[in-house]
Amino acid sequence: MTIPIALTIAGSDSSGGAGIQADLKTFAACGVYGASVITALTAQNTQGVTAIHQVPSEFVGAQIDAVFSDLDVRAVKIGMVSERSVIEAIVAGLDRWFKGAVVVDPVMVATSGDRLLAADAIEALRQRLIPRAALITPNLPEAAALLDEPVARQQDDIVSQGRRLLALGCGAVLIKGGHGESAESTDYLIGKESVVVLAAPRIATRNTHGTGCTLSSAIAAGLAKGEPLDASVRQAKAYITATITAADRLKVGHGHGPVHHFYGFDRSEN
């Protein structure tokens, strides 16, 4: 059996709920083999980030070369890249090895509120990495930060920000509505000629650690399996909604707990 392979390039979460760990769990749950390139080590748990250890850019490049020289990667998800030199190493590695679909989740702030992206790396993200992406997946505050604008609240303003993000050179933009205040969590998939509105009921839970990582990885998994972008985003939206709905079953940690990546395999209630 040949299994589709997806690669995550992101930071490690020592508590297992976000970052590389969430990405690999998502890939597995979605039927894709996951490989990883670690950009940073974080000391964190459900209550916050206490320390970050950056992986040298040269070693990030070495990991990329090791993976691509051996594995047939079909899609790439990029998460936490907090330094300009690491962004440059990733772009150079992709230029050497990969011409396929890249999903960029511009992780700038953790669910706990901790800042994860250095200010001097934001411009490199805009100029170097975003133009390489088939899709970027900012939440409402991240979309605003990338544009140096206030957070959009109304649909017209959200779509307008999405179109300005498109002008940075990516193929499409998915602005996530998890930080909104309505009864529904509404995401907007904005392409060059279309806007797709994806709504789901807002789930009343504090266990949302790793939601952004999980959604972007689920999209990458769909792309790795050969699904078109629109279908990959729709399937990922359904998956993340289900993982949040089941999150309270896990009871992990004392803060913002993780979503339930393997809710479909849960035998604890049998």
* Residue 42 resides in a domain: yes
The pLDDT-based confidence of 113 (bands split at 50, 70, 90) is: low
Q: Does residue 46 have an active-site annotation? A: no
pLDDT at 195 over 90: yes
Catalytic-residue membership of 176: yes
Over range 126-145, report the average pLDDT: 94
Given the residues 77, 176, 225, 237, select the one marked as catalytic. Answer: 176
Mean of pLDDT values over 178-203: 86
Asked if 211 is an active-site residue, the reply is yes
**59/154 Cα distance (integer angstroms):** 43
Q: Is the pLDDT of residue 107 over 50?
A: yes
pLDDT of residue 223: 98
Structural domain including 95 reads 5-264
Which CATH number is 214's domain given? 3.40.1190.20
- Segment of 19-33, 111-125, 177-191 carrying the highest mean pLDDT: 19-33
Residue 269 located in a structural domain = no
Please indicate whether residue 210 is annotated as part of the active site: yes
**Catalytic residue (choose from 211, 214, 241, 243):** 211
Q: Which of 212, 222, 225, 243 is catalytic?
A: 212
Q: 211-224 vs 19-29: helix axis angle to the nearest 10? A: 40
| Domain assignment of residue 228, yes or no | yes
Q: What is the pLDDT of residue 270?
A: 45
Establish whether 213 is a catalytic residue.
yes
Sheet of 173-175: strand order equals 48-54, 33-45, 5-13, 73-78, 101-104, 135-136, 173-175, 184-190, 195-201
Residue 225 belongs to some domain of the structure? yes
Among 210, 241, 243, 257, the active-site one is 210
Has residue 211 been placed in a domain?
A: yes
Q: Which residues pair with 36 in a beta bridge?
A: 8
Instruction: Render pLDDT for 251-263 as a digit per residue (tens, 0 to 9).
Output: 999 999 999 999 9
In a domain, 49, yes or no: yes
- Structural domains counted in the chain: 1
Q: Tell me the pLDDT band of 217, cut-offs 50, 70 and 90.
A: very high
- Residue tagged active-site, from 39, 111, 208, 243: 208
**Residue 270, domain member (yes or no):** no
| pLDDT band (50, 70, 90) for residue 181 | low
Instruction: For residue 127, tell me if it sits in a domain.
Output: yes
Catalytic residue among 213, 241, 243, 257: 213
Question: Is pLDDT above 80 for 119?
Answer: no
| Residue 137 annotated among the catalytic residues of the structure | no
- pLDDT tens for 42-86 read 999 999 889 999 999 999 999 999 999 999 999 999 999 989 999
